[in-house]
Amino acid sequence: MSALTVTIVQTHLHWEDKTTNLQLLEKKINSVKGTTQLVVLPEMFSTAFSMRPAAMAEPMSGTTIGWMKRVAATNKLILTGSVIIEEEGNYFNRLVWMLPSGQYGVYDKRHLFAFAGEDAHYTAGTKRLIASVNGWKINLQVCYDLRFPVWARQTPADEPEYDLLVYVANWPERRNHAWKTLLQARAIENQCYVVGVNRVGKDGNAIYHSGDSCIIDPMGEIVFQQAHEEVVHTLTLQKESLTTLRSKLPFLKDADDFLIQL
C-alpha cells in the first residue's frame, strides 16, 4: 500500500504584502528536511484574507502562480494553497494544485463568507477538485466550505471518491472551536484523513488567528495539532490503515443517495 508524505505550513501572513509573504514561505518550504510529496499553504497565502481583489488579484500568468511553479519544480513537490485570481472580469478565491512539472489544477471556493463580504467581491466556484497522487485521491476545499458537509460528502459508490480532505483557511480564533470540531466531523463521516491548514497572527483588520492547523485520522483522532505558533510539520499518512478501516467498518456503503444541484 502507498504512503503520502504531507507538510503543513502554519504561518503569519503579512497583510497584502505579496513580496514578503512569498519570500518567507519559500524559506520555510526550503527548510523542510527529508522528502515530502505535498506542501499545503493557508488560504490567500500571498496576501492574507483581503477584500480588495481589484488591487490584489493576478491573472494565472502572474507572479504568484509563477512562484508556485518555480518552488514546486525546484523542490520536486506538489504545492497547494489559495490565491486571489482575476479571470474574465471576475475575481476568485482560487486554490491551485501545482505539480512539479508546472501542470496544475484549480478549485474556486464554493462557499463565500458573506459575513465578511466575500460574496460581494468574489465569484463562487461550481466544481469540486479531486486530485490524484501516489495512489491517493485528494479532495481540495477552502475555509468556509468546512461548514457545509454536503459539499465534501463522499457519494455512495463501490469505491470512495477520495482518501484525504484538505482545507486551507484564514479561520479566526474566535470561532476556533467550530474549526476543530468540524474538521474531526468531516474525517469521521467521510472515513478519510483530513488536513486543515490555517494561518496565525493578526490580519489587517486586527482579527487574531490561532492557527490550530491539524492532521486528523479517519476515526477523527487528532494526529497533529499546533496553536498560536508558526510551524512547518511533516507527517506520512498510511493508505493501508485507511483501507483496513474501511474494510472493517464499511459505513460509507450505508450512506444516503443524494445529488447536488447548482
The one-character DSSP state at 111 is S
Within 56-111, strands assigned E span 78-87, 90-98, 104-108
Identified catalytic residue from 16, 18, 43, 118:
43
pTM score, whole prediction: 0.97
Note whether 11 and 230 are within 8 A (CB): yes
> Of 191, 203, 164, 139, whose CA–CA distance to 11 is shortest?
203
Across-strand partners of 165? 139, 194
Active site (annotated) includes residue 43: yes
Identified catalytic residue from 18, 143, 173, 214:
143
Within 8 A by CB and 6+ apart from 250, the residues are: none
Tens of pLDDT, residue by residue over 123-141, are 999 999 999 999 999 999 9
The one-character DSSP state at 31 is T
Q: What is the CA radius of gyration of the chain?
A: 17
Helix (H) or strand (E) holding 185: helix 176-190
User: pLDDT value at position 136?
Assistant: 97
Q: Return the biggest CA–CA distance within the chain.
A: 52
Residues of the chain with pLDDT under 70: 1
User: pLDDT value at position 228?
Assistant: 98
User: pLDDT value at position 144?
Assistant: 98
Note whether 43 and 142 are within 8 A (CB): yes
The domain segmentation of the chain, as residue ranges, is 3-252
User: pLDDT value at position 1?
Assistant: 61
User: pLDDT value at position 259?
Assistant: 81
Active site (annotated) includes residue 173: no
Tens of pLDDT, residue by residue over 150-207, are 999 998 777 899 999 999 999 999 999 999 999 999 999 999 999 999 999 999 999 9
CA dist 52 and 260 (Å) reads: 31
User: pLDDT value at position 197?
Assistant: 99
As a dihedral over the C-alpha atoms of residue 197, residue 226, residue 184, residue 195, rounded to 10 degrees, the angle is 30
User: pLDDT value at position 34?
Assistant: 83
Active site (annotated) includes residue 221: no
Assign domain 3-252 to its CATH architecture: 4-Layer Sandwich (3.60)
Note whether 65 and 49 are within 8 A (CB): no
Identified catalytic residue from 109, 118, 180, 192:
109
